[in-house]
Amino acid sequence: MIHHLVSLLAALALAQSASAQARTELFTGRFLTLDSLAPRAEAMAVRDGRIVAIGTLRDVAKVAGPDATRTALPGVALPGFADAHVHAATLGEVIESVELRGLSKAALLARVRAAALKAPAGAWIRGSGWDQSFWSPPEFPTAAELDRVSAGHPMVLERIDGHAVWVNTAVQRLAGVTRETPDGAGGRITRDASGAPSGVYVDDAMSIVYRAQPPLPMSERVRRLRGALAQYARWGLTEIHDAGIGLADVEAYKAIGEEGPLPVRVYAMASASDSTLRAVLAHGPEVGVLGGTFTLRTIKVVEDGALGSRGARLGAPYADDATRTGFRLVSAARLDSIIARGMSRGFQIAVHAIGDASNHDVLDAFERAGPAARTSRFRLEHASMIRDADVPRLARLGVIASMQPVFVGEYSRFAEARVGAARLPWVYRTRDVLAAGAVVASGTDYPASDAGDPILTLFALVTRRGYDGMPAAGWLPGQAVSVDAALRSMTIGPAWSAFEENDGGVLRVGRRADVTVLSADPTTMAPEQLRALTVLRTIVGGRTTWMRASASAAP
């Protein structure tokens, strides 16, 4: 008994000695912890990337010790923001391509013409973000319109949702597209009155023209990904959920990670495309590699298309096109197979579902998976349009609603035209989903949305207004949520969705020191003022990954 006590005391002394040698940083300021037991704090001590004390300055300083490095944080510090659905590689491409968001058709054509005139001969011109709902009439464009401004360059412009692409005749020629080229089962080629392809390719048909593009060198892929990660840090994000990456993207992340931990934690979802699916199932999940900043444990399936391009799968025809109900991009049998194989190898399954028929059928597939579904934490990516009877099923099945609040701006422009007044209440019903007891993990889907800034996610959740503040009265304002619920969906929700509920989401002892520092306390602001918030500092595992020049640390 005495020997056991002596050994225990020796072990404790050794642990204390090791802890004393580790670098400790004492952060002071105002902290909004999202911990219901201790919601406010004035200091936080960090050691080895984790919180070792948080509370009053007096108490935390005792734990930190006299030799701790001190950093005063201006503004208000919160648990690090996470974006539960992004496309990092595409953001990297967008940073280097022509930005087309929110433009009229005339302004868009002028912008791509200017880019074409400056580009080297033969270079591909790439752009993204066009949205015909900003045009009058709001109709799909044509290759002929691009031909007039492309100066001989191949030109590929992605629609804002990433589910349609507009190309010029040069690209169609390089892809070998003719009048006889079939649309395919899960896509559509827009055609003119004579039946000839007119320049827009929707969902699976996009692959027809993408195959003409030259392959992307790994060095360029890595450069673009670096640019995307830097942008996420500037936005105050400490973690992203990269929704649907291929093997080349995994390789690019690891190339960056060879130089040290990533500046933003990445929770990756592998695309369910055949080659990637086979490889990740054979290898198994990777959790907390690259210095704890990269995890790949999810398989992402795309079940339908997007509402804006009429590819989302509806239970009844589109209100503005009675000939269409959208596309089913994966059969029920294949979805069941992916779910079963993924679960057997320890993978979470996330399924893109936008239309009401898609969400209903995916919930059916999750239910067929049996009781193990709850522990697998299945995810509905977007959950854009949910029937009344399906809302309570989310909580009952333990399915996470991975939603993108900034969609309210885009949907306010066209959703009623697409689905009609009777079905409109099914669209982006965030409050209903939360009230039913389901977990909501908020993200942006950027760049397949109007904005990737988490401040605008918070603003949209609370006001139901888009990135531009419109509509002024909010779109379906009864679905607005409180600031507290919104913040939890941006922190605790993504943490739960990534099996990281003991690591993130709350500022509490033992958890990662992932912190977003804002210019003011969002819980004390009027809703319409939230859009004016700015990020002052981003901290990942105690490391500052970005800091506004005017927010320098004080001694």
How far CA 295 is from CA of 106, 240, 250, 348, 505, in Å, comes to 43, 11, 10, 12, 17
Q: Which DSSP helix (H) or strand (E) runs through 308? A: none
Report the predicted TM-score, pTM, of the whole model to 2 decimal places: 0.88
Domain boundary among 168, 192, 210: 210
Question: pLDDT at position 5, please?
Answer: 34
pLDDT above 70 (res 420) = yes
Question: pLDDT at position 552, please?
Answer: 55
pLDDT above 80 (res 10) = no
User: What CATH number should be reported for the domain holding residue 516?
Assistant: 2.30.40.10
User: What CATH number should be reported for the domain holding residue 108?
Assistant: 3.10.310.70
Residues 147, 58 share a domain: no
- 537 dihedral zone (left: phi>0; alpha: psi -120 to 50; beta): beta
Question: pLDDT at position 7, please?
Answer: 35
How many structural domains does the chain have? 2
Mean pLDDT of the chain: 93
Residues 144, 200 share a domain: yes
**Tokens 């040290």 found at:** 260
Is 188 a member of any domain? yes
Structure tokens at 535: 């990020």
> Is 455 in contact with 530 (CB distance < 8 Å)?
yes
pLDDT above 60 (res 378) = yes
How far CA 216 is from CA of 33, 43, 223, 342, in Å, comes to 43, 47, 11, 29
Is 156 a member of any domain? yes
pLDDT above 50 (res 1) = no
pLDDT above 90 (res 33) = yes
pLDDT above 80 (res 512) = yes
Residues 129, 28 share a domain: no
130: helix, coil or strand? strand
Provide CB contacts within 8 A for 308, sequence distance 6+: 131, 133, 159, 160, 161, 163, 164, 410, 414, 418
Q: What confidence tier does 101 reach under pLDDT thresholds 50, 70, 90?
A: confident
Residues 144, 57 share a domain: no
Q: What confidence tier does 366 reach under pLDDT thresholds 50, 70, 90?
A: very high
Is 439 a member of any domain? no
Question: pLDDT at position 338, please?
Answer: 98
Rounded to 5°, angle at Cα 304 from 303 and 307: 150
pLDDT above 60 (res 290) = yes
- Which pLDDT tens digit goes with each residue over 205-237? 999 999 898 888 999 999 999 999 999 999 999
Question: pLDDT at position 122, please?
Answer: 87
Domain boundary among 210, 235, 256: 210
Residues 94, 66 share a domain: no
- Which pLDDT tens digit goes with each residue over 111-128? 999 999 998 898 899 998
Span 321-350, mean pLDDT?
97
How large is the C-alpha radius of gyration of the chain?
24
Question: pLDDT at position 346, please?
Answer: 96
Question: pLDDT at position 539, please?
Answer: 98
Residue range of the domain that includes 128: 90-210
Span 28-49, mean pLDDT?
97
Domain boundary among 210, 232, 262: 210
Residues 122, 40 share a domain: no
pLDDT above 90 (res 3) = no
Residues 51, 103 share a domain: no
Span 268-278, mean pLDDT?
96
pLDDT above 60 (res 160) = yes
Residues 109, 169 share a domain: yes
Is 178 a member of any domain? yes
Is 189 a member of any domain? yes
Structure tokens at 526: 């009027």
Phi, psi dihedrals of residue 78, rounded to the nearest 5° = -125, 165
Question: pLDDT at position 23, please?
Answer: 86
Question: pLDDT at position 347, please?
Answer: 98
Is 199 a member of any domain? yes
Residues 99, 73 share a domain: no
Span 516-526, mean pLDDT?
98
Residues 172, 120 share a domain: yes
Question: pLDDT at position 16, please?
Answer: 47
Residues 151, 59 share a domain: no
Span 136-165, mean pLDDT?
93
Is 373 a member of any domain? no
Is 43 a member of any domain? yes
Which stretch of 10-14, 69-73, 263-267 has the lowest confidence by average pLDDT? 10-14
The two beta strands, 197-203 and 187-191, are antiparallel
Residues 198, 112 share a domain: yes
